[in-house]
């Protein structure tokens, strides 16, 4: 734990996260990483969040869930109509807890920044805005709405939040640059989501059991771990796999993650490509098991085809001691380069070629691993994370000064 000025010890924070905490996906992982760090710093945190998700426990952290809304059992990634009634309840709960308790900081995530800004001004409490994405961009990226009026409204609301926040966190260089364009005099703290699964959930090495369960010992394993949302490029991965296995007959693609309906859809797609014996879909696994799956891999894959935020998996990939093959898009290149990963164009032939090349070039295989681990240690360790996060929180406590 890092030393801090006495005035920043044991502060009380109200955090609001319009997410299912916890489910194994991007923003919920980020929120839980923040909770761990705040707990390690010695602060007391009340988190107001959605009713769905598994509890996580850290010293000094209390999870407060809004009531369930009939008919809403899960929340998909990105904007959705189902979030509206849940967010209305979050607003009520935020107001209630701010009126009934004394907090030193209001810490909001995503759209909670909208009402967080209002309550911050009314109650005179400093506001830390955790920006995981640009919300007007999300409306387009997830094809939620083509309404120019709605996008314009969200853009103005986002600008209002950024201009009034006492401290702003961004999670990738693209978002940092977006804030600089919108609020050049304010800036933000760039804090990548580097907290590992096992730091939060602990870990028992199950790699031997996984190898036995899927008969991996005689195979070369190329692993993808993450959600199976369309922007992740699983269709590209399947098309690439069909090409790559023609040259490497022992190659097995292990896809870890995804809801049952997504797994069924992509499994059918793989079957149509003749990949029944060369592609395994595990579905969702406990977060504490993910590193065990990675230990079984010879390659780590990120075939993402859309978006600008860096996938959380990239930071774990860099530390793993296994080469990474990823698409040469901003979502990856703001962290990865040709020294630490194999970067390819986002097409099946190119991605397959990258996989084949790194498997055949053992010297590059070893050098990429060495440089990737060095980069991870220097820039994406938990120690670096806590140092940057501490600075962002302390600026929030001080009211932006």
- Dump the DSSP string for 207-275: HHHHHHHTT-TTSEEEEEES---GGG-HHHHHHHHHHHHHH-TTEEEEEEB--HHHHHHHHHHHHHTT-
Mean per-residue pLDDT, 72-93: 91
Who contacts 100 (Cβ-Cβ below 8 Å, separation ≥6)? none
CA gap 335, 379 in Å, rounded: 10
CA gap 109, 104 in Å, rounded: 17
Give pLDDT tens digits for 321-376: 999 999 999 999 999 999 999 999 999 999 999 999 999 999 999 999 999 999 99
Q: How many CB atoms lie within 10 A of CB 264?
A: 13
CA gap 392, 190 in Å, rounded: 9
CA gap 360, 303 in Å, rounded: 20
pTM equals 0.84
CA gap 393, 39 in Å, rounded: 12
Nearest residue to 301 via CA among 356, 224, 220: 224
Nearest residue to 348 via CA among 294, 306, 305: 305
Mean per-residue pLDDT, 264-277: 97
CA gap 188, 196 in Å, rounded: 23
The strand order across the sheet containing 12-17 reads: 61-65, 44-49, 12-17, 105-109, 127-131, 167-170, 189-190
Secondary structure of residue 308 in the 3-state scheme: coil
C-alpha torsion 30→31→32→36, nearest 10: 100
Q: DSSP per residue over 174-219, as a string?
A: HHHHHHHHH-TTT--EE------HHHHH-----HHHHHHHTT-TTS
β-pair type (167-170, 220-225):
unpaired
Domain architecture of the chain: domains with CATH: 6-194+381-397 (3.40.50.2000), 205-379 (3.40.50.2000)
Mean per-residue pLDDT, 36-59: 95
Which pLDDT band, with edges at 50, 70 and 90, does 3 fall under?
A: very low
pLDDT value of residue 186: 82
Q: C-alpha angle with apex 24: 308 to 384, nearest 5 degrees? A: 65
> At 149, which helix (H) or strand (E)?
helix 148-164
Structure tokens at 229: 């949302």
pLDDT value of residue 115: 97
Q: Is the pLDDT of residue 142 over 80?
A: no
Nearest residue to 34 via CA among 13, 5, 65: 13
pLDDT value of residue 5: 45
Phi, psi angles (nearest 5°) of residue 229: -65, 155
Give pLDDT tens digits for 176-231: 999 999 888 888 999 999 988 778 887 889 999 999 999 999 999 999 999 999 99
Structure tokens at 283: 């579905």
Q: Is the pLDDT of residue 144 over 70?
A: no
pLDDT value of residue 68: 96
Burial of 124 (0-12, 13-18, 19+ CB in 10 A): exposed
CA gap 333, 315 in Å, rounded: 13
Q: Is the pLDDT of residue 2 over 50?
A: no
8 A C-beta contact, residue 113 and residue 48: no
């Amino acid at each position: 734990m890092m030393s801090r000025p006495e005035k920043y010890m044991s502060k009380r924070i109200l955090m609001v996260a319009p997410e299912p905490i916890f489910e194994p996906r991007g923003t919920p992982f980020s929120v839980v990483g923040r909770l761990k760090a705040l707990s390690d710093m010695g602060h007391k945190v009340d988190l107001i969040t959605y009713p769905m998700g598994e509890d996580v426990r850290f010293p000094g952290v209390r999870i407060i869930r809004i009531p369930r809304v009939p008919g809403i059992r899960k929340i998909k990634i990105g904007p959705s109509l189902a979030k509206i009634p849940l967010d209305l309840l979050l607003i009520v709960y935020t107001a209630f807890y701010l009126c009934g308790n004394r907090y030193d900081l209001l810490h909001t995530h995503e759209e909670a920044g909208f009402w967080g800004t209002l309550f911050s001004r009314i109650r005179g409490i400093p506001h830390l805005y955790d920006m995981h994405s640009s919300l007007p961009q999300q409306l387009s990226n997830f094809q939620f709405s083509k309404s120019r009026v709605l996008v314009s409204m969200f853009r103005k609301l986002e600008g209002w939040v950024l201009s009034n926040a006492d401290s702003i966190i961004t999670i990738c260089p693209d978002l940092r640059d977006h804030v600089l364009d919108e609020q050049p005099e304010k800036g933000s703290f760039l804090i990548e989501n580097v907290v590992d699964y096992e730091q939060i959930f602990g870990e028992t090495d199950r790699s031997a059991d996984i190898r036995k369960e899927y008969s991996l010992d005689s195979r070369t394993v190329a692993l993808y771990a993450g959600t199976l949302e369309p922007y992740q490029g699983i269709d590209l991965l399947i098309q690439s796999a069909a090409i790559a296995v023609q040259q490497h007959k022992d190659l097995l693609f292990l896809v870890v993650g995804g809801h049952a309906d997504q797994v069924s859809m992509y499994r059918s797609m793989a079957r149509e490509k003749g990949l029944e014996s060369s592609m395994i879909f595990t579905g969702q696994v406990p977060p504490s098991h993910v590193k065990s799956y990675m230990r079984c891999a010879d390659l780590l894959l990120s075939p993402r085809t859309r978006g600008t935020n860096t996938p959380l998996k990239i930071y774990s990939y860099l530390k793993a001691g296994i080469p990474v093959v990823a698409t040469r898009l901003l979502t990856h290149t703001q962290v990865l380069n040709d020294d630490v990963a194999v970067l390819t164009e986002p097409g099946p032939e190119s991605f397959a070629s990258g996989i084949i090349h790194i498997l055949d070039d053992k010297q590059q295989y070893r050098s990429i691993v060495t440089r990737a681990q060095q980069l991870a240690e220097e820039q994406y360790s938990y120690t670096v994370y806590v140092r940057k996060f501490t600075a962002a929180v302390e600026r929030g406590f001080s009211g932006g000064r």
